Structure 1
């Protein structure tokens, strides 16, 4: 395990709700994404084509596989779902986080740029870019089938981020093309787009807060990084705050009071009520991705390292405890994987 002080980790805070715990080196080169669920952390190491499974407390690596070039990952229970690509194919690889082995692959056409799962892990949503636009491949893990939700037409469009609400019935998709960006609301029951909200600058991150609020992170040369507060009920932007110079990712605490933003050389901690940065976290290398547990912040970097910090524990959203009990209907037009 790497020595934390040797990596020049530091924290600058107004309050003392962030503290360095430990760090380790997972692999060579940049880590493209990181996800956590319970006692398991999963990283996708684009630099050496590997997926690693770590203990969330000790950061000890207890499993992993080599699988194409992994990009984005989601983890729920004892399964991780990672987008992998190579010269010959693109797929979602399913990793057993207990054994550290790939137990299933779903070949998919086109490039997968975002992955989210339902609370019970029975549905996996993979945002992908094709020749004529963007769509979401919906993996029914139980039936081992794949359906498609068509999102937007634009040859240069990409899906930058996605979130599924606690009911499992609304999928929020951040789409960017050469002209603008927009937040799209998809009804999972009907597999249809219900609402579109123009945002403007390229979207880098998306998170759902409490009481029908979403946070959309954007970045461009003119305005830098901006965090937009969106009223999902009325489908409008209600506030914005400058949060970073060149942000790339966003996570939100379970109670919605803290937003953590990956910037060029640090992670900014934003108080969403005050709409102000209250802390900056440095890991001694360029941060590439973040994940948030109940009271732990995991920061991956471009040197193949992972650092963990304690953060103020937050109370989960009141409705989330019922999410796993809600049935999510299968998407229309289920068909064999392509």
Structure 2
């Protein structure tokens, strides 16, 4: 059974603007990936064939939802988790209602799934797949309950290592890596066709899109180490590149694009995307595996190999004030400390 614990000294912080806000031990082995929305965190338990749903405002044991395979990636809307799983029989896109903690839909998929993304309205889920000599994206229309395919690239030793939908829902960005380099494939979601390809270089580890549409591409290899490249959404060209750790594996971007949080072994580096400087380093008590920000952008969740999720209060993006904004987040609580 999962357990909840708090280790207030588990994270060493060197900036008073970041503060410990609680922790949860899922106790189901290493966490492969984590996602968050306004009030919930979902962790993928790779070795346990389950996801853990943690309510940020509830002093309760995380709810475990069993799956028919190992969860590889998770993407969230406010009420549903979209999980791609890998199993000997077949890979699958599974949709979980995170209010009831129940599986509400399953879409069996051919080939090997590697990533997942969901449209802002939750009506389309995109699952990256790798075959023997090609990669593509399966598109599940959750309203019509059908699955289509977007062909991305052909060739052996090709994989999709990142998948993200822009805030408008009109573009899907696909990070494709090969033995000789990598590229960002831009897909028009309305036509389900490849619109443009942008050369990147080193293997892609993660993608993120800022509110203004700028695409951030995290890469790493032994020669260049960690690098973040920015892509202009209008011209679709690389506009900048800056160092981002030694061998980073994950990244999340603040909603305003001002900060990039990068997982680099047992540290999380906070980078200013304007100056390209490391403004803070967060050191954990265990090796970090994944990272996520909640919807308001003021809580950072870091998962690790010990099966723990650490919550930190971080500076929120400067809001565009409206009365409903103040009401919407008035009841926001900490990750429960029990």
How high is the TM-score relative to the length of structure 2? Answer: 0.89
Change in Cα spacing, 1:116 to 1:316, as seen in structure 2 (3 Å) is farther
Match of 2:227 in 1: 226
1:303 to 292, 303, 306: 306
Deviations 1:179-207 (A, max 9, x none): 10001111111111111111110001111
SS in 1 for 2:52: strand
- CA offsets, 1:198-235, max 9 Å, x none? 11100011111244421111000011100112222222
1:255–1:317 Cα contact (<8 Å) kept: no
Alpha-carbon spacing, 1:57–1:17, altered in 2? closer, same or farther (3 Å): farther
Q: SS where residue 126 of structure 2 aligns?
A: strand
5 Å-filtered alignment, 1:241-260, equals 241-260=242-261
1:198 aligns with 2:205: no
Cα distance in 2 for partners of 1:120, 1:61 equals 30
Flag structure 2 segments of 5+ consecutive residues without an equivalent: 325-338
1:178 aligns to what?
Answer: 179
Deviation of residue 5 (structure 1)?
A: 3.7
Deviation for aligned residue 1:62: 4.3
- Over 6 Å off, 4+ runs: none
Contact 1:83 1:92 in 2 (8 A): yes
Deviation at 1:166, TM superposition (A): 1.7
Q: TM-score, normalised by structure 1?
A: 0.89
In structure 2, relative to structure 1, the CA distance for the partners of 1:90 and 1:266 (3 Å cut) is same
Aligned partners of 1:312, 1:9: CA distance in 2, in Å? 17
**Distance in 2, Cα, partners of 1:191 & 1:59:** 43
1:74 positional shift: 0.8
- Counterpart CA distance in 1 for 2:313 and 2:305 is 21
Q: Which residue of 1 aligns with 2:329?
A: none
CA contact (8 A) 1:210 1:255 kept: yes
Matched residue, 1:31? 31
- Give the distance between the partners of 2:20 and 2:165, measured in 1 at CA: 30
CA RMSD across the alignment: 1.8
How many residues matched? Answer: 316
* Shift of residue 139, structure 1, vs aligned partner: 0.4
- Deviation string for 1:271-301 (max 9, x for gaps)? 1111111111122110001110121000011
SS at match of 1:161: strand
Q: Deviations over 1:231-263 (max 9, x none)?
A: 222222121111111111111111111111111
2:104 aligned counterpart, secondary structure: strand
The structural deviation recorded for 1:77 is 2.1
Structure with a larger share of its residues in strand: 1
SS of the equivalent of 1:9 reads coil
Secondary structure in structure 1 of the residue aligned to 2:167: coil
- After superposition, residues 34-53 of structure 1 pair within 5 angstroms as 34-53=34-53
Deviation at 1:162, TM superposition (A): 1.3
Counterpart-to-counterpart distance in 1, 2:113 and 2:89: 14
Q: 1:154 to 1:59 in 2, by over 3 A?
A: farther
1:12 Cα shift? 2.2
Partner of residue 14, structure 2: 12
